[in-house]
Amino acid sequence: MKKAWKQIGRAAGFWGIYFAGQLTAGMLLSVICSIIVASKMNTGASFDYQAYSNAVMELAGNHMGLALIGAGILTLGVYLIIFGARKVNPLAQVDAKKISLKDFLFVVIGGFGTMLFMSQILNLIPFSEAMMDSLNEAFGTYNQYPLWQGILANAILIPILEEVVFRGLLYGRLRRGMPEIVAALITSAVFGIAHAGPIWMAWAFCFGMILNFARSRTGSIAASIVIHMMINTFAVIANYELIVLPQNTTVVIISTIVGAVLLAVYFFGLYKVTKKEKEEGKIKEPLLEEEEVSRREETTVVVM
């Protein structure tokens, strides 16, 4: 039990850095936008605070991609500094390593399956109008800023950052102190809570479990990063209407069924392939920070 709480504390610390990075970038963007808007408005007796507030929110929304990019760079930079100070391999600490070609093929199949199933299943569930409006409003914020920011932030940087945090650092620590399924559930729950709105939270939880399966079976966040990038790239394409897909009932049902079949192939195929690879010793769990430091200290003592 003591070991579990120790790993929970470490996971919470790394998540705290991620949360602080998001908060800092958001606050900095708000301050900059406030200064810009204030410099262009009349601040005399007739100052219209509501107009000022609306202008700040609009300007911040149009540049939110920059805040996401800044938060990602800041957070990853802090992690690198921490691991550099401890003189440990940062890639090993977040479980970032190569995966086999067979693993990669099933991961790509899982990405397409998730893309089809998770995007269409929402259209088949009879949610209330208020809940769907909340979901659409949340998704709608992603196309307020320029396309290049959407690609860099949502399709590239966010998948890397969130997989480093949730599947690399959080799951990587928690699984050392508790059963893997419990660690996966907790990690996915935290991942879900990080997304606003009840539907999106539930969606993110299920998505998190799909990502956790790829991470746990292959032993690397490279697998979950691939799936995450595929889904977010699809979201960018849809939100910016780069490709407009038909949304009639027949297409939705067929897409959902095809997605479910691909996900089944992903789960079963990746499980079988990685089971054999683990038995052959091709997939090994990396040393955690304290384990790597301890191993290095023991080696130093022996050499001396």
Q: What percent of the chain has pLDDT over 70?
A: 87
Domain ranges of the chain: 2-303
Q: At 200, which amino acid appears?
A: W
Query: What per-residue confidence (pLDDT) applies to 302?
Result: 47
pLDDT tens readout for residues 263-296: 999 999 999 999 988 888 888 766 565 555 555 5
pLDDT tens readout for residues 239-267: 888 877 777 889 899 999 999 999 999 99
Query: What per-residue confidence (pLDDT) applies to 142?
Result: 62
Query: What per-residue confidence (pLDDT) applies to 151?
Result: 93
Query: What per-residue confidence (pLDDT) applies to 125?
Result: 82
Confidence of residue 17 (pLDDT cuts 50, 70, 90): very high
Cα separation, 29 vs 31, whole angstroms: 6
Mean pLDDT for the stretch of residues 48-77:
90
Query: What per-residue confidence (pLDDT) applies to 33?
Result: 93
Chain centroid to CA 210: 12
Mean pLDDT for the stretch of residues 212-231:
96
- Given a contact cutoff of 8 angstroms between Cβ atoms, the answer to whether 110 and 214 are in contact is yes
Q: Long-range contact list for 125-134, CB < 8 A, 24+ apart?
A: 127/199, 131/197, 131/198, 131/199, 132/199, 134/197, 134/198, 134/199, 134/200
Query: What per-residue confidence (pLDDT) applies to 291?
Result: 59
**Which one is predicted more confidently, 111 or 52?**
111
Tell me the average pLDDT of the chain: 87
Mean pLDDT for the stretch of residues 223-237:
95
Confidence of residue 136 (pLDDT cuts 50, 70, 90): low
**Which one is predicted more confidently, 226 or 280?**
226
- Given a contact cutoff of 8 angstroms between Cβ atoms, the answer to whether 116 and 256 are in contact is yes
Q: How far apart are the first and last CA of the chain?
A: 36
